[in-house]
Amino acid sequence: MSKRIGFISTRIAGTDGVSLETYKWVQVLERNGYQCFFLAGELETPPERSMVEELAHFNHPEVLELHSRLFGHGRRRPPELTRRLHELRRHLKEVLYEFQRRFDLDLIIPENVLAIPMHIPLGMALTEFLAETELPAVAHHHDFSWERSRFIINCVGDYLLYAFPPALPNIHHVVINSRASRQLSFRRGLSNVVIPNVLDFASPPTLDPARRAALRHELGYEDGDVMVLQPTRVVPRKRIELAVELVAKLGLSKPWLVISHESGDEGDLYRQRVSAYAREQGVRLIFLGHRVGSIRSFGANHSRPYTIDDVYHAADLVTYPSNYEGFGNAFVEAIYFRKPVVVNRYAIYVEDIEPKRFDVIPFEDFITDEVVAQVHDMLQPERAARATETNYQRGRRYFSYEVLEQKLLPLVEAAEGNHA
């Protein structure tokens, strides 16, 4: 059996969803005897198994400038844009061949680079590379162009059809939710497998009571105070204003909302709007992103005073009011850390998560008095303990590393077998 797998992406670093899920796939593959290697424009992976190519990053100035001209300006593509696309494609294809030679790879796992068109030349180069080499690939698709309105107007429709994603016999396609599976079959005629986002439920998180107490004290919480956590980035689709509204209606002695992540690469306008709304509602926002690191990623950040684990342990209630998610990492994290959850019934939750019968407080797009009453009930210690234990066991059954293992390893072995 071949054992050397190359992961390819624009970025495998930080705590974005693609990087975090890549980390989990690598953990599962390595514990099953595979060696993993990495190519991207930014990496926090082991240097001896990594190859950095700056032009592979979607944030590289040349790539950004090109991207800005390809989308949102009409459907006619000037010849100079075509020439530049192919210049970058040729360069990146040579990089891919060098990656293959350097690490003697047996199988490729593209992480979202053949799905969302943030880097057109890289997707084109990888498609040609896989067609020319016939290397087996398991393409991990997190989101597609048709799921984002900003990609509707473009002058690269021809490239989107052949590379995002490509229809090649040596590629096995993986998506993260049922809706994406149907759309990929309908729009591209491609068979695929659904593999949800997961966590290592067989290894429960370790609670450090001293760190939990220290964080709560630093934030100003005393015994008996309810700490409400919004464990997401500050971007519009997270609908944080609904979490603010919930906190305002709960009648807490300290109507505060802790937000664990920063705005990211989508600017600060939404943060400003949410902050203004919170002031109107009498809710204090506590932004912790600059002080919180991750310990479940390639670049585990131990330089910051707290980890995301510490923040979850300190919380009493988690809010998840998003109106759109590709899956729902923060929901699974809240279950993993045994916290009560209030969740908006976004589409993927309704189809892929709700049927698993988690004991949470769902709502439909706005906060009602009934939701507030259910939260007060859920915050009672015995009620919370029952719900969180039930949820942990269901998380272990449906969203664990063992589930990933059962779904991913047969795909990898099938891809290898077809190539033999």
Q: In this predicted model, what pLDDT tens digit does every residue of 323-334 receive, in sequence order?
A: 989 888 899 999
Distances (CA, A) of 378 to 112, 207, 259, 368, 386: 38, 21, 21, 15, 10
Burial class (CB in 10 A: 0-12, 13-18, 19+), 177: buried
Query: 35 falls in which pLDDT band (50, 70, 90)?
Result: very high
Query: 307 falls in which pLDDT band (50, 70, 90)?
Result: confident
pLDDT at 53: 97
Distances (CA, A) of 181 to 148, 317, 406, 420: 16, 32, 18, 28
| The domains spanning 4-198+401-419 and 209-398 adopt the same CATH topology | yes
Burial class (CB in 10 A: 0-12, 13-18, 19+), 250: middle
Kindly state the average pLDDT of the residues 55-69: 95
Using a pLDDT cut of 70, give the percent of the chain over it: 96
Burial class (CB in 10 A: 0-12, 13-18, 19+), 289: middle
**Phi, psi angle pair for 323, to nearest 5°:** -100, -10
pLDDT at 417: 67
Neighbouring C-beta atoms of residue 80, cutoff 10 Å: 9
E strand map for 288-385: 292-293, 306-307, 317-320, 341-344, 361-363
- Residue 43 is classified by DSSP as B
Q: Which CATH architecture has domain 4-198+401-419?
A: 3-Layer(aba) Sandwich (3.40)
Q: Where are the domains of the chain?
A: 4-198+401-419, 209-398
In the predicted structure, residue 189 carries a pLDDT above the cut 80: yes
Helix (H, G, I), strand (E, B) or coil at 116: coil
Using a pLDDT cut of 90, give the percent of the chain over it: 84
In the predicted structure, residue 175 carries a pLDDT above the cut 90: yes
Q: Are 123 and 114 in contact (CB under 8 A)?
A: yes
What's the one-letter identity of residue 274?
A: V
In the predicted structure, residue 4 carries a pLDDT above the cut 70: yes
**Residue 411 CB-half CA count within 13 A:** 26
Helix (H, G, I), strand (E, B) or coil at 76: coil
Burial class (CB in 10 A: 0-12, 13-18, 19+), 305: middle
Read off the pLDDT of residues 258-301 as tens digits, 9 standing for 90 and up: 999 887 656 689 999 999 999 999 999 999 988 887 777 787 65
Kindly state the average pLDDT of the residues 88-116: 97
Supply the CATH classification number for the domain 209-398. 3.40.50.2000
Q: Are 360 and 342 in contact (CB under 8 A)?
A: yes
Average pLDDT value over all residues in the chain: 93
Helix (H, G, I), strand (E, B) or coil at 32: coil
Burial class (CB in 10 A: 0-12, 13-18, 19+), 193: middle
Distances (CA, A) of 353 to 53, 260, 312, 324, 331: 37, 23, 21, 14, 9
> Residues 235-248, buried b or exposed e (16+ Cβ, 10 A)?
beebbbbbbbbbbb
**Phi, psi angle pair for 33, to nearest 5°:** 95, 0
**417, two tokens:** 């077998």
Read off the pLDDT of residues 334-384 as tens digits, 9 standing for 90 and up: 999 999 999 999 999 999 999 999 999 999 999 999 999 999 999 999 999
Instruction: Show Cβ contacts of residue 375 under 8 Å, excluding neighbours closer than 6 positions.
Output: 246, 250, 317, 340, 342, 361
As a whole number of angstroms, the distance between CA 60 and CA 15 comes to: 19
Distance of CA 353 to the CA centre of its chain: 16
Helix (H, G, I), strand (E, B) or coil at 204: coil
In this predicted structure, which of 132-141, 180-189, 262-271 has the lowest mean pLDDT?
262-271
In the predicted structure, residue 194 carries a pLDDT above the cut 60: yes
